[in-house]
Amino acid sequence: MSAPILDQTDREIIILLEQEPTLNSKEIATKLRRRPSTMLNRYNRLIILGYIKESIPTGEMEKFDGMMVVIINVQLNDHYAEALNNFQEEISAFKQVMECYQTTGQVDFVLKVIVKDMSDYQVFLVQTLSKMPIVKSYTSHFVINEKRKASGRLEPMV
């Protein structure tokens, strides 16, 4: 099953929520100059599809004042489809995991994790990631600075 295709309006909603994560569907409608009922339907659809989560949204580091952003590269022991899907579902359920990407190359997954401090990070590693039998190895990278592109309209991919 392929991922649902997002249109320009869906992308605009996601970009807007990355900039202002506390907006509700009516405020989104106003900012995007769309009908509130249409935005409510799209907003709910993006939640159901998993594009919008009820956890801390991704965004600029200053929004996470006093927190640490960690990028974790994860290698798995098994690479059959069910194992990959199960890992992604299981790890994504943890509140610390903001983003989970299945990748090609030397690592199987790249995680964006947000923790309060080094102690919280250690708890996540010891009690969560390292206890997963499918995890072969992991490497952590602590984010010290972040620069995001100025938001704007996403262009369709060709």
Q: Is 94 found in the same domain as 22? A: no
80 & 135 share domain? yes
Q: What pLDDT shows up at residue 56? A: 43
The reported pLDDT for the residue numbered 70 is 93
- Segments of the chain with pLDDT less than 50: 1, 55-61, 151-158
Q: Can you tell me which residue has the tokens 């359920």?
A: 93
What letter represents residue 79's amino acid? H
Distance (Å, whole) CA 94 – CA 16: 24
Q: How far apart are CA 17 and CA 139, in angstroms?
A: 30
pTM of whole model > 0.75?
Answer: no
**Collapsed DSSP state (helix, strand, coil) of residue 113:** strand
71 and 103 housed in the same domain: yes
User: Are 102 and 77 in a shared domain?
Assistant: yes
What pLDDT score was predicted for residue 134? Answer: 96
Both 86 and 15 in one domain: the answer is no
In a domain, 15, yes or no: yes
Residue among 136, 67, 71 nearest 101 (CA): 71
| pLDDT 10s digits, 92-109 | 888 888 889 999 989 999
Indicate if 115 and 68 belong to the same structural domain.
yes
On whether residue 149 sits in a domain, the answer given is no
> Domain check: are 22 and 78 in the same one?
no
What residues make up the domain containing 13? Answer: 8-48
State the greatest distance between any 2 C-alpha atoms of the chain, in Å, as a whole number.
49
Rounded CA gap, 112 and 44, in Å? Answer: 24
| The total number of structural domains that make up the chain | 2
